[in-house]
Amino acid sequence: MSSSIDSKEADDIRSVEGPVLVLVGQTAIGKTELSLRIARTFGCEIVSVDSMQVYRYMDIGTAKVGEKERREITHHLIDIVTPDQPYHAARFVEDALQAIGQIQRRGAIPLLTGGTGLYLRALQEGLFVGGDSDPVLRRHLQGRAAQEGSEVLYRELARLDPAHAAKVHPNDSSRIVRALEVVQLTGLPFSEHLRRQGAEGSVRFARMLKLGLRCPRGLLYERIDQRTREMIETGLEQEVLELLARGYGEELKPMQAIGYRHMLGYVRGRWDRQEMEQCLARDTRRYAKRQATWFRNDSSIIWFASGEHEQLLAHIGRWLSIHQR
C-alpha cells in the first residue's frame, strides 16, 4: 500500500467518526492470536502498531503474523519499507490514517493492535518531544558519538535541523544526540517540536475502544523465554545472515533492535549461543517492563487478563451495539 497521504485526504480524516478498536499489551502476551479472533468475529481489518513490523525481510525477530492469516484477514502497515529506509512516528500517523480511511470506506472496522505505545499516542495526541525516547536508538547514537566524535553528529544535525543546531555547541554530545533522536524517532526537527509546543496535528476519534491485555509477570516471562527459543529454533540466525547478504549492515537502526542485535553478536563471534539467548530473553523482559509502564499511564485502556478472551469479545460486542448505530 502507499505510504503517503495527500493533504486533502488527511484533512478529511483528521476527525475519525466511525468506530475504531484498539488492542494493546506487552510483547508475547498474546495480542496476535486475539486480534485475529476479534477480526473474524466483528469484520475488522488490522492495522499494525509496531515499529519493527513495518520492515521487509524481518519476520522471525518481529514475530509477524503468518502469510496464511494475512491472506484471510487484511493487515496494514506490515512490510512497507526496507531496513535501510527511515520510519518514524510522524510517518506512522499518516500511514495509519490512510489505512483507517480505506477500511471504513469498505464498511469494515479498523482494529489497531501492537506494542509501540509512542505510535499510538502520536496518532491520538500528536507528537510530544518531552517523553519521546527510544533506548536502542539513543544507545546507537551515543555509540556513534563515542566512535566518530560529536562533531560528525553535529554536522548531521546541522543538515537535518539547522535552526536547532545553531543553538547547540558542536561538542555538546548530549544535546546533539537528543536532537537527532527526536528527528529520527518522530520525523520532525527538534526545533519544529519546540515551535508547536503541543498537540498540533492530533486526531479526534469520535468512537474508539481501547482494550489491553495483561498477565502475571512470571507467566509473561515464561512466554518471553518460550518465544526467544522459538525465534532461534525457527531461523532467526538465517534471517540475520540473509539481511547482511542483502547489504543491510548492523549500523542500521532496525538491525540494532531486540533480537537482531543479539543474533548479530552471535554471528560476529562476540557471544556464544547461550549468552546470546540469555541476553535476548533478558532484554525482551526489560522491554516488556517499559511497555507496561507506558500503557499503565493511559487511563482510557480497559484491561482484561490475557486468558479472558470471551469476556473481552463480549465487551466489544456490547460497545459496538451502541457505537455502530
Residue 117 annotated as lining a ligand binding site: no
Calculate the dihedral angle through the C-alpha atoms of 297, 31, 304, 134, rounding to the nearest 10 degrees: -10
Is 25 among the annotated ligand-binding positions? yes
CB of 141 closer than 8 Å to CB of 153? yes
- Does 30 count as an annotated binding residue? yes
Residue positions counted in the chain: 325
- Please tell me whether 29 is known to bind a ligand: yes
d(CA 271, CA 83): 24
Cα–Cα distance, 277 to 280 (Å, whole number): 5
Q: Is 228 marked as binding a ligand?
A: no
CA atoms within 13 A on the CB side of 309: 13
Burial class (CB in 10 A: 0-12, 13-18, 19+), 308: middle
Amino acid at 305: A
Residue 73 known to bind ligand: no
CA-to-CA distance for 98 and 13, rounded, in angstroms?
Answer: 8
Q: Is 210 annotated as a binding residue?
A: no
Q: Are 54 and 244 in contact (CB under 8 A)?
A: no
Query: HSE on the CB side for 59, CA within 13 Å?
Result: 10
27 labelled binding-site residue: yes
Bind-site residues for ATP = 25-32
Specify binding-site residues: 25-32
Specify binding-site residues for substrate. Answer: 27-32
